[in-house]
Chain A
Amino acid sequence: MNYHLELKNVKKSFGSTSIIRGVNLNIKKGEIHSLIGPNGAGKSTLYNLISGVYKPTTGTIKFNNKNIENLPSYEIYRLGLSRSFQITNIFPKMSVFENIRCGLLWSMGYHYSTYKILDKDKNLNMKTNEILEQISLSKFSKESAGLLSYADQRALEIGITIAGGAETILLDEPTAGMSKSETQRATKLISNIAKNRTILIVEHDMGVVFDLSDTISVLVYGEIICSDEPDKVKINKAVREAYLGD
């Protein structure tokens, strides 16, 4: 079977320390796939390997049957794989509107143009407003992004991530540090954007994980110890010992 995103025997070491020790991970098209595991298991490193921040020491990563393990991040993005970050990663000095609009530029074919005036493109500005509507930030459109509240910045981050129309999204702890009501809002937003998309999500809030996921993979000390449906993961003995802890 061909998977949408396929990691085969991926290893990554920094000096003599191996962080990822042979990960095999298969993600089907259209599913919400959660990656859980204790702190230091290598979840962020794995994300950085998939998205081209790091190159794997050995192993292959295939996205839509194309090897991407040696591509730079921006080319992986152009293939349709976009990601958010654990630490909020927005353009703080630019307005909320500009943040989203920048996220749209590449996919709308603007690339490095030095002669097209952006304010004149009604279609682009309309699309920007649609995304602002979707992430409920329309009212802050003109504010500078750095002034938004934490939860709103996280929403903006998701907005930038999805703006370019990528069909596969990696989300890194999208609800970390949020209050209950904020988490609810974020969960709603995620299930909303998951329509027609494939989502890989790293999350510590088990409520969110078991609520959203079609598949859950458990990463412990650089290895996937289990990858299955939520109900089966819940009763998996190895997972309970290593992670769920009861």
Chain B
Amino acid sequence: MGKEMFNSIKLKFISLFILILFLLFLPYIFSSSFALTLFCKMGVLIIFSVAYNMLLGQTGLLSFGHAIYFGLAGYASIHILAAINNSYLPSLPLVLLPFVGAIVGLILGVSIGYLSTKRLGTAFAMISLGFCELITALTLIFVVFFNGEDGIQADRVTGNDLFGLTYGPQSEVYYLILFWCIITVLIMYLLTKTPFGRMCNAVRDNQQRAEFIGYNVRKIRWIAFSLSATFAGAAGSLHAINYEHIGFESVSLVQSGMVLFMAYIGGIGNFLGPILGAISLTYLDTMLSDVTEAWVLYYGVIFVLVIAFAPQGISGIILMHSPILRNNPALLKKLITPYSIFLVSILLLTIGFTSIVELIHSIKSNHETLKFFWLSFNNKNILIWLALGLIMTSGVIASRKSFGLVKEKWNEVMEEIKLSLIK
């Protein structure tokens, strides 16, 4: 037992080590500037979504306004950078700037958290929404500080930083973000292992009971809120360094919704969930926004489908299989066929749906033909519409049927596991 645990800890350390090594060499494996920009964005959003999930998944507080801490810390950082550019401030190693962002986040989190953690559930969510709208409005009103819709720019190259880094090349920014990403995610992970972290879960599960084991549940929520804002602030600072620009959209509801999507689609029940969510959604966002203007629509559809059919998110779906792996991995074979049938039907549905959406979109933009994958369609041809409609309908039917099949097989496998556990 003890040895087993020791081995599992050792395994964790080794895989973490390999992961960090891999991340260090990532810019050499994918060296295009496109890939680097993508990785930088992912790193920032990983910090942000893990911080957000400290609130949503760990403490059970749904906030619609978490971009405030991200964005305002970004504004503060850009102002500091600009002040250094103009020699109002002495040069500061850029690697320390996220500290400033974190402090800004902490101060905001402590004060806004004091007000909003008085209430729970819907009221809490509404207060957060109110603050988000308020701050977004402020960015457009207080032009002195926020510079309205244009936002603010600054130059991140402020002279030689530690180890001779200049942060001119994107790859150096990548390492800065990687450094902060590893540190903050590690701290946030360790936080879940502390009394505070455990009591966050306790408050989430049952706040009355938490109170009757001696805890002021409001204080727990307040600390969680403040710390979550702190890490969001660090992420906002990195965001500002990465783009050398910050605009009002970074504090807005759009940004708040984005982090909610990431945490939710990745899975809020697991520490790794928001990381997966941030990686996959940033990837899709960057890739698809180049290909299609209807990407936001697909984004919404994915979100609705995940909430309706897989509320446990990507990480939740993966972890569902761990009892099978632990007890009888051979049973996984039974799931291969239903899973592949289901994936094929989903693919059919996706092709049908996206081509119809793109076809409708092409009417608006006055193109008669639409290039889609390797095919080109004429949107005046009724037969094409009918054919696509047919594909989509059959995709819907097939998906529903095969989802039933997946469920059925899944239940069979779970029954077998339960039986083997009783024996």
Contacts and interface: CB of A to CB of B under 8 A. Distances in A.
Q: Do A and B come from one complex?
A: yes
A77 interface: yes
Given A113-B196, A117-B190, A93 B213 contact: no
A113 B197 CA distance: 9
A83 B212 contact: yes
Interface string A117-145: 11100000000000000000000000000
Interface stretch (A2-10, A19-27, A102-110, A231-239): A102-110
B364 interface: no
Contacts of B213: 77, 82, 102-103, 105-106, 160, 163-164
Contact of B195 (A72, A74, A91, A112): A112
Contacts of A82: 212-213
On chain A, which size bracket covers the interface? 35 or more
A188 interface: no
B241 interface: no
A89 interface: yes
B198 A114 contact: no
Interface in A79-119: 82-83, 85, 89-94, 98, 101-103, 105-107, 110-119
Given A83-B212, A91-B201, A160-B213, A112 B206 contact: no
Most central of B196, B213, B217 by chain A CB within 10 Å: B213
B34 to A, nearest CB: 39
A51 interface: yes
A119 to B, nearest CB: 6
Interface in A144-174: 160-161, 163-164
A113 B201 CA distance: 14
A62 to B, nearest CB: 20
A73 interface: yes
Given A89-B206, A160-B209, A94 B201 contact: yes
Interface in B203-224: 204-206, 208-217, 219-220, 223
A233 B44 CA distance: 70
Nearest to A113: B195
A51 B193 contact: no
B206 A92 contact: yes
B194 interface: yes
A78 interface: yes
Contacts of A89: 206, 208-209, 212
Nearest to A103: B213
B198 A72 contact: no
B202 A91 contact: yes
Contact of B214 (A74, A85, A114, A117): A74
8 contacts: A72-B216, A74-B216, A77-B214, A89-B212, A105-B195, A116-B195, A118-B198, A164-B214
